[in-house]
Amino acid sequence: MDPSLTSSPQRFETSRSPWRRLLLVFSLVRYRFFLYAGLLPYLLGATWAYGMEGRFDPPAFWSGLAGVVFAVVGVEAFNEFFDSRMGTDRVFNPQDLPPMSDWVLWLGVAAFAAAFTVGIYLTLHSGWLILAFAVLGGAAAVFYVAPPIRWAYRGLGETVIALAYGPLMVLGSLYLHAREISWSALLASLVPGLLIMALAVVNAIPDFHQDRLVGKRNLVVRLGRDRAVRLYLVLASAGLAMALGGIIAGRFPPACLAALLALPQLLASARRARGTYESPRQFVPAIRSIVGCYLTAVSLFTAGILLTPWLSTG
């Protein structure tokens, strides 16, 4: 869990009112998932449909956006609930905090049910492939930390995140408008996919000890923090290289080159990570730099696609 973007586990203690706790869950969603994990890949897919395919369906866009909101609320609620039940966030907490209330679980169930309902509507509106994207994305989201699969506890969580917030999100969003997908769009989806996987790895580095103690065998626990630092830097570099390679190969418009403006943030993270990965508090700036790298790269990559119709006629 990203210590730079969340508060202490006390945010869910039972002494707080249900409404206060509900607001805190939505606060986490806003900053930790929705802004850079859910929204940007969805916008990239819609932008690709508009900028590269010349198609855009406003009702489908807004309905799909509602589905994304519900899905990320469900993801956050499930993650917080099941991590709390496993004791992940309380291993080194000196206080004997009570387990998280069941209302968080039911919030997640309701959110996923709403997202699935939106998926059914969009399937009737846009075609059966939307249902396939919804089912695959739902399996990734629901079972990320929830039993019986627990992707995050089997060393598959980071890969599942990359697929869910890369190809599945981007191509699903594209299909809403274009009713088709393409190899070029698949390559474009790897830009956010690789970067979000890097972010998933770097987020787990400060939690190395507690994850290991509760049996959360993610990539950081399996590889060790030193090699995990190298892995997240390789993944983030590959995301930026994908943008450049796609431009050189003629798959992406030249304006997407602006995504490389995120490179200084990647380098800043690399410099900070050296010698600090064993100290969670000192490592926080390295996480923030990768968050910034993701936001900058995917936003500018998406803007390059959005501007393509105007640049080509100018």
- Alpha carbon separation from 140 to 66, 78, 228, 240, 284 (Å, rounded): 18, 12, 22, 25, 27
pTM, full prediction? 0.85
Cis, peptide link before residue 254, omega less than 30° from 0: no
- Alpha carbon separation from 2 to 94, 282, 283, 285, 290 (Å, rounded): 20, 13, 11, 11, 11
Res 30: pLDDT: 45
Flag whether pLDDT at 236 surpasses 90.
yes
Interval 70-128: pLDDT, tens? 888 888 888 778 877 665 555 445 455 556 677 788 888 999 899 999 999 999 988 88
Average pLDDT over residues 146-155: 85
Average pLDDT over residues 18-45: 65
Q: How far apart are CA 12 and CA 57, in angstroms?
A: 40
Per-residue tokens: 288:
């923030």
Interval 124-149: pLDDT, tens? 988 889 989 888 988 888 888 788 88
- In contact, 178 and 158? CB cutoff 8 Å: no
Domains located in the chain, CATH noted: 9-313 (1.10.600)
Flag whether pLDDT at 4 surpasses 60.
no
The residue to which tokens 């998926």 are assigned: 119
DSSP structure string for 46-67? HHHHHHTT----HHHHHHHHHH
